[in-house]
Every structure is written in C-alpha cells, then in structure tokens.
Chain A
Amino acid sequence: MRVTDAMRINTALQAENNVSLQMSKVSQMASSGLRVSAPSDDPAAYASITERAAQMGVIQGRSSAASRAAEDLNLAESTLDSADNILVQIRQIAVEQANGTQDATSRANASAQVASLRQQLLALANTQGSNGYLFGGTKTATPPFDSSGVFSGNGNLTHVEIADGVLAVSNASGANAFTSAGGEDVFADVQNLVTALSNNDVSGVQASLTTLDASRAQVDSARIDAGLSAQRLTAAGTVMSSALTQLQVAQTSEQDADAPTTLSNLQETQTAFEESLQVTKQILSVSLATANIG
C-alpha cells in the first residue's frame, strides 16, 4: 500500500485528537470531581442520581417538618405537665378545705388562691408554639380559651408525613385535655371549686374532689398522648436521618469520581498525549525531502 504524506498526517492528527478528547473528559472529571455531570455521561446513572436527589429532598423536608412538630409536641407535653402540677396544687387546697374544721375566712382565702391558680392554668392552655396556639386544634391564630375558660378552638388534628403515605399526629389536642370533649371541662370544674369555696359550701368542695381527679387524669392522659406523639416523630426522625445517610453514601458512590483512579487516568492520558506528540513529530520528520542523502 502506498503511504502518502496526507495519510501520515491524518493518522497522526486523528490519534492526537482521540487522545485530546480522552484527556478533556478525564480533566473535566478530575476538576469537577464528578463521574456523572451530564445525562450523556451515563444516562441510567443520571436518572438514578436525579431520583435519589429528589428522594433525599423529600426526606429532608419531612425530617425538618417532623422535628419541628416534635419540638411543639414536647412543649405541649411539658405545658400539660405544668397544668397537671397546678391541678395537684388545687386538689390539695380542696382536700384541706373539705375538712369541717376550716372556717369561712379560710375558704374565702383559698377561693382567691384557686382563682389565681386557675388563671395560671388558663395561661398554660393558651401557650404558643412555633405554629401559633398549641391547644387550639387548627385554630392556631387566636387564644383558644377566653378568661372564663370558654373554648373557641377545635379538636382537629394536624399531621406530618413520616414515610410514604404514613402520617403521624403533629399537634396536641387542647379540646381533649381541657374541655368536655375529653370528658371533663377542667376550667368549669376549677371554677365550681372557686365558687364552692367562696360560698363556704363544704359539700360542694367535697364534690369537686371527684371532678378534679377526673380533670387531672384527663390532662395527664393528654400529656402522655403528646409525649407519645413527640416520641414517634423523634424516632421517625432518627430513621429518616439514617436513611438519608445511606442515600448520601449511595449518591456519592454513583455520582462522584474516584479520586485516585481519576488522577491516575489523568496522568495516563497526559503521558499518552505527550507520547503522541513525540510520535507525530518523529513521523513528520522522516522524509526524503529533508533527509541529507549522500
């Protein structure tokens, strides 16, 4: 086969072009640190990286919603715990004043004390969390209890998604804790005690011991519910965080270029490029036109 100058040049240029192309790919990989930076680099991997990124976004979104709800539920739990303590104090006062030895003055004083505790209870029931009033159900913008203890909120629940299609309760029910929806109207019960004490009505005071016990049990049960909901969200948060870590590991291994391999590839292609230049130079220098014959 005849070998022409154009053939030698073409072949050298083509070889050099192939090495340059390879070098540009490897350099891009080395500088970006990414094995897949465009869909055409690896279409299947690009699709799975995109889907995984979306999955990670979903989990991050759910996780932050769950942790925020858990904070509010923890606040609700501790608020209900304080309410329970106040009810314990009120019950102690009722027990003391149910005794026949107490006189009208003592009961009048106790009445004022219980009325003040009732105000504290009201303030607790109107506690605000990160998303408005904690115990108003979905009526989070206005105080759920007015000064007379009348409830203007609702018992509706809010939820957060903790796994695909799995919803967890994200608020504590003020209706169940403090109103007759849970069985006892706590503020009415306490108000009855205040009235009985101020009227020096011993049998009334004795009667309110039963309702106060029921109220305490009701607030306590709501506190436990809030605590359980918070725990469920915290546990879900832990699961999500470990899932996220796993996804991140998978994402990194699929998306990122392996640094040592990339570097050695880069060196290889650089060497190949230099060699190709040398060979081209050598090929082009061999010619009768430039040879010094004779």
Chain B
Amino acid sequence: MTITPKAPRKLTMKQRYSALTRDLEWDPSYVSDEEMFPLTSFEGITIHDWSKWEDPFRLTVDAYTKYQAEKDKRLYAVLDGFAQSQGHLSLTDASYLNAMKLFLQGVSPLEYQAHRNFAMLARHLNGPGPRFASLCQSLDEIRHAQTEIHTLSNYNKYYAGFHSYLHMHDRVWYLSVPKSFFDDALSAGPFEFLIAIGFSFEYLLTNLLFVPFMSGASFNGDLPTMTFGFSAQSDESRHMTLGLEAIKFLLEQDEKNVPLVQHWINKWFWRGYRVTALVAQMLDYMLPRKVMSWKEAFELYFEQQMLGGLFQDLAYYGITPPLHVDKAMQEKEYLSHQAYWILYQFSHAAAFTTSVPSDEHMDWLTEQYPDTFPIYRTLWEKEKKNIAAGGRHFIRGLPQLCQVCQIPMGFTEADEPFIQAQRESIFEGERYNFCSDGCQYIFDHEPVKYRQAWLPVHQIYQGNCGAADLPGVLDWYHMKPGDGGEYLGSLDNQNWKKWHDMADETGGN
C-alpha cells in the first residue's frame, strides 16, 4: 500500500515543544525568584539549573487535548453500550463488584487529591518543563476521578455499597489506609511529593495497583471498568515518566540531594507497598475468575521490572533498593491471606462483603502458594465448621491499628505464621504501635507528624464517630443494610439470583 507523502510540517515535535511549552517561560523582574516560588527551598533540595529537566513526551497543549478527547470518546462509547445492553448481568458474579466497591471508595478519591496537588505543583515548581508536565497530570487526575465515578455509577443503580463512597472515604476504618497514605504525601513538601506520588506510587507501584484491577475487570466481564482503567493507564505512562524524570533530575542536580532522595524512596516504597495489601487480597480472594496471584504480580511487576531493571540504573547515582524491600519479598507468600482474613472478620463494618473461598478457589490458592496456603486453609476449614454450626465469625471488638499504615495489626512475623508482628516506639512518654519494621522506621524519622494520625479506632473510643456502639458508628459511616457482612444471602447475592432466574425463565434479557 502506498501512502501519499506528508505535507512538510512547519515545526518538528522538538521545535514545537520548545516553542509552545518551554519558550513561554519568563524571568520575573519585580519580584525575586524566592518570592515567586516560595515552596521549593525548605526541604533542603538543591537545584542549580531547572532547564535541565527533560520531558521525553514533548507535549504541547494542542496535542494533549486532542488525544485526551479521543480517549474520552472511546470510553463513553463503551459505557453507553454496556448500560444499554444490561451489561451488568454478564459479570461473572455479583461478588466481583466487591473489588470495584473498594476501588471507588478507596482509590477514586485519591485521584481527585492528586489532581489538587499537581495543580499546585503546576504553579509552584520553578521550571516550565515540570510545571507543564504537572499541569497535564493534574488534568489527567481529575479526568480519572470523573470517569471512574461515572463508570461505576452505573452499578450503583443495581448494587449495594457504591452509594456514599466520598463520605465513607473520610470516615471508614479500612479506607483510612489509602486516605492517610495520600494525606501523608499532600502534607509533605513539593519534592517529597514528587518522589512519594510521582516516583514511588506512579512508577514503582502503579502496575501492581492498576493492572491487576483492570485485567481482573476484563476477565470478569466488566468491560467499562477495563476501559476506564486502560484509558487512565494510558496517561499513567506520562505520570511514570514525570516520576522518573523527577528522581533523575534531583539526583543529577546536586550530590547533596542523594541521601534525601534515598530516605524518601525508603519511606514511600513501604508506605505505598502497605496500601497494596488491599490489592493483594483483591487479586487472590475477590475476583471470581482469577488473573494471576499477588505473588506472581509482585514478582513480575516489582522484582523483575523494578529491582531487576530500574534500580540498576539508579545504582549509578548511589541509590540502593528501598530499605525493607526484603520484607516485602518475604511477605508476598502470605500478605493476601492475612489481609483478606482481617477483612473477612470485620466486613460487618465495611461497605463490601466477604465469604469463605470455595473448595475450587482454595485449590487454586494451594497451587499458587504451596508453602503457605495450607496453613490458612486450616483456618478456613475451621470457619466452614463454624458456619455449619450457625456461627459465621465476625470480630465484635475493635482492633489495634498500626500508627503509620493504619491497617489492623494482623500481620505476623515472616517465619511465624501465628505470631503477630508488633513493634513499638516511645515518643515523649507515649507508646506507639506498628505492624512492621518499615512502619516503625517511618514513624521514628517523623514522630511529630505521625502522632497526629487520625486513627479510626481511637476516634471511635474518643467519641468522635457518631456513637459508642456499632450500629451508631455504621450509621455515621452512612452504611446501609446490605452494604457489608457475608456475601452469601446478601442483598446483592439475592438480587443476582433473582435476575438470573428471571433471565432463564424468559429466555434471556
């Protein structure tokens, strides 16, 4: 096939980027640089030349808007088709949506927070390159928040647990895990934020967070989620690049930046990794049709790509893999089992449901985790006996939370599956508890910050959560009957059966 020769372009991509993005910069004449950019000096980072910042995407406003509009057009075509054809009935099972409830309650509000902070960076970074990249990312993030909410609102018409995600995000115990993570980054300086979110979250961990959700959606008949996910992920490659350029830029600008950056990598790897405990249990337990195990995802996306690839590049600057990465590698064998076991026992106070894995599901888990799952299987077999005797297990008390990651303290020592890991530090006469060495390390560097943590359990005991009893707190959370508890027999489960029986009787539709 022949293609008609292109009319010569007036400017190449490089020239356009330089003219439309970089050349719009000017030097202030009636205020000093410090007055114009007051936020980029207090963290101790030294920058000599902002023009050295690279942006390989060479984006300009016209190219950005053109392709973003096309992405939205493709997404909305899928959303309409799915809604018009009652696509929700072709999901593998209503229980699949527990993963999406967790996503809407836990992750979508973070996109909005990212939008806000990148808008601030778009104003406050000194160089035009990173300012423009931040502006694009800020717009991307609000697009993600909006398309996710729009996509999942279709399920809100038919299923429990989707209705009050924003309200819940600010109040509910398990949602304080992602919320506190992001608040932690928002309350740091601009450079730490770039390493926390731009680098650690968007580059190191993004594939672990998003790709499993999206491939899981694809495998479980959830076309709209897969589409918004991949549409959002296509922006992610720019975000990864921003994070990677940020770290290389800081390291190249001044040697004095290296120890600061190393500490932020140590801190934010662990902080972000703890949030992925929610993803781990989602992959291994919440998807009716499995994509890959957490262990496999961790090996593929983290060990091979990041440790095997990226960190060899960063070694050139004297950067080493994050502290405590060895603990994360040990934990891959049991993280999901322990995280789901916690959620299972507390789901009466959650806006998603849980259930004992089926025998087939447990066989799959045994295949994936031959060394560790047999131990957890004995717990589930015991729980099946409880249920047969009429006593499905819910914990009625309130758990102790880790002061840093805010996950209930249910993780164990690596080689002792029944010994709970507990670390403690004393600061100004008060004792603080942690789930891991990683969380303790973070606290010990900034105790004044972390002692202010809004811990949901403490807040309940202090009387700040509407009531002193469970129904009162659930009411304050805006949880409704049917939102949480056991999946079998739940509102979603009953409706699902009813709709599918109906479809059988009428021959479909």
Check if A and B associate.
Answer: no
